[in-house]
Amino acid sequence: MVHRLIMAYNDYDLLIIGGGMVGASLACALAGLDLHIGLVEAELFTANNTHPSYDDRTVALAQGTKRIFQTLGLWEMLESTSTPIQKIHISERGCPGLAHIDCCDEGVDALGYVVEARLIGAALLGKLLSSRGVEVLCPAYLEKIPIEENSARAIISFNDNRIVELRARLIVAADGACSRVRKQLGITALRWEYEQQAVIANVTSTIPHCNTAYERFTEEGPVAFLPMSGHRCAVVYTVNNKELPQVLSLDDSGFSTLLSGRFGDRLGAFSRIGQRQAYPLFLLKALEHTHRRIAIIGNAAHTLHPIAGQGLNLSIRDIAALAEVIADAWRNNQDIGGTEVLEYYAEWRRWDQIKTIACTDILTRLFVNPLPPVHIARTLGLLAFDFFPPIKSLIARQFMGLDGRLTKLARGIPLTD
């Protein structure tokens, strides 16, 4: 029998549990501030990015997220491989109403950018490894998280049977929708199952996408096309749980026919279909985003339907605000894990979170409702959206992450200044 020894290991100012995009972005944002930061991650970071958060999926980074990454020095590693979204085309099958959003009307070079997740992972890993003050602990697993008056403790296990105790002024939970931190603290998270899965694939179209993203609503669920390099598009195809096995069993020709049947012929036929993967769709919202000496961010705090591509972007705005609050508190000799500091962060982010979560959930439910009065309302709503520029601009700026109080990082101001 192997005895596992618990021993004091190290004290940190900040301990981040979870090294995916959100946790790693927070560490990058705070690097260089003379903070001693620990980043605990269960999966091994490797040069070829086999980490599950950095797979071959594509993500749509909003304009505001691009500006945050630019301030952090990450965007220069992503720009050459990103594809700008200059227009968004919104439609509903069987409905005469259409809506368009154009970056020129909003005074930006792009509404967002499509980037492969593994390339974001490579940029974050490169930044972390060159940053002072950040210690990456992986593969390491959270066992327990006792909270004390002046510090929080995390009991961490390693593959070599060591169990160590880490202490920090503040612990940040960035450990995903099934967050162990959140569960161990007894924080309730509301979860609504959409009874759907998102089938993800890359396809090649015969008609150029012209840097346009398409969101097509149907009674079976939405389908989205995001522009990539060349004639390629990243597809998010929503399917009901019971129909998933049949969809995944289709060959390339069958899946192409299915896509065309739901989307139409705006992009012509699809000449090449990439590997397909499926992910369950649900809405999750933690009832508390801060606890004594704990901040909860990313999917641990809110997991959204991908209908408007807001999940990661909302999380990046959260980390930009949290990083700014921590940096200001640190400079003012405040306790970065103190109640006053965490409440200030929670209050700052509350309204953006409420609006973004509500918008994505309402859209998801509204466009699958088959009742004729609702169908008519959707048609009128799309027309109103397209013909009233102030409404369109207001919603566009919200989804670009440029509405409300912007963080320093979103305004191009480094936290080290």
3-state SS string for the chain:
CCCCCEEEEEEEEEEEECCCHHHHHHHHHHCCCCCCEEEECCCCCCCCCCCHHHCCCEEEEEHHHHHHHHHCCCHHHCHHHCEEECEEEEEECCCCCEEEEEHHHHCCCCCEEEEEHHHHHHHHHHHHHCCCCEEEECCEEEEECCECCCCEEEEEEECCCCEEEEEEEEEEECCCCCCHHHHHCCCCEEEEEEEEEEEEEEEEECCCCCCEEEEEECCCCCEEEEECCCCEEEEEEEEEHHHHHHHHCCCHHHHHHHHHHHHCCCCCCEEEECCCEEEEEEEEEECCCEECCEEECHHHCEECCHHHCCHHHHHHHHHHHHHHHHHHHHHCCCCCCCHHHHHHHHHHHHHHHHHHHHHHHHHHHHCCCCCHHHHHHHHHHHHHHHHCHHHHHHHHHHHHCCCCCCCCHHHCCCCCC
Q: Residue 400: which residues within 8 A CB-CB, separation 6 or more?
A: 62, 63, 64, 106, 108, 111, 112
Question: What was the pLDDT predicted at 5?
Answer: 47
For residue range 271-294, what is the model confidence (pLDDT) as tens digits?
A: 888 889 999 999 999 999 999 999
Task: Catalogue all structural domains in the chain, each as residue range(s) with its CATH number.
Answer: 6-190+282-410 (3.50.50.60)
The mean predicted confidence, pLDDT, of the chain is 89
Smallest Cα–Cα separation from 156: which of 13, 16, 300? 16
**CB 301, CB 177: distance < 8 Å:** no
Q: What are phi and psi of 157, to 5 degrees?
A: -110, 145
pLDDT tens digits in sequence order for the chain, 417 residues long: 333 444 445 789 999 999 999 999 999 999 989 899 999 998 876 555 555 554 568 999 999 999 999 999 999 999 999 999 999 998 888 777 788 899 999 999 999 999 999 999 999 999 988 888 899 998 999 999 988 878 899 999 988 888 899 999 999 999 999 999 999 999 999 999 999 999 999 999 999 999 999 998 888 888 999 999 888 999 999 999 999 999 999 999 999 999 999 898 899 988 888 889 999 999 999 999 999 999 999 999 999 998 888 999 999 999 999 999 999 999 999 999 999 999 999 999 999 999 999 988 888 877 766 667 776 777 777 777 777 888 889 889 999 999 989 999 999 999 987
Q: Give the whole-angstrom CA distance, residue 220 versus residue 238.
A: 8
Task: Please name the residue that has the structure tokens 């389908």.
Answer: 223
Question: What was the pLDDT predicted at 48?
Answer: 53
Within 10 angstroms of residue 343's Cβ, the number of other Cβ atoms is 12
Question: What was the pLDDT predicted at 132?
Answer: 84
Q: Give the whole-angstrom CA distance, residue 52 versus residue 44.
A: 10
Taking the mean position of all CA atoms in its chain, how far away is CA 384?
A: 29
Report long-range pairs for 375-384 (Cβ below 8 Å, ≥24 apart): 375/95, 378/92, 378/95, 378/97, 378/217, 379/92, 379/95, 379/96, 379/97, 380/97, 381/97, 382/90, 382/91, 382/92, 382/95, 382/97, 382/98, 382/99, 383/97, 383/99
Q: Give the whole-angstrom CA distance, residue 36 versus residue 18.
A: 16
Question: What was the pLDDT predicted at 46?
Answer: 59
Smallest Cα–Cα separation from 298: which of 202, 121, 172? 172
**CB 413, CB 72: distance < 8 Å:** no
Q: What are phi and psi of 317, to 5 degrees?
A: -65, -35
pTM of the predicted model as reported, rounded to 2 decimal places: 0.92
Question: What was the pLDDT predicted at 1?
Answer: 32
**CB 278, CB 244: distance < 8 Å:** yes
Question: What was the pLDDT predicted at 51?
Answer: 53
Question: What was the pLDDT predicted at 54?
Answer: 45
- Relative to beta strand 112-116, strand 58-62 is antiparallel
Q: Give the whole-angstrom CA distance, residue 179 versus residue 175.
A: 5
Question: What was the pLDDT predicted at 2?
Answer: 37
Question: What was the pLDDT predicted at 309?
Answer: 86
Question: What was the pLDDT predicted at 96?
Answer: 75
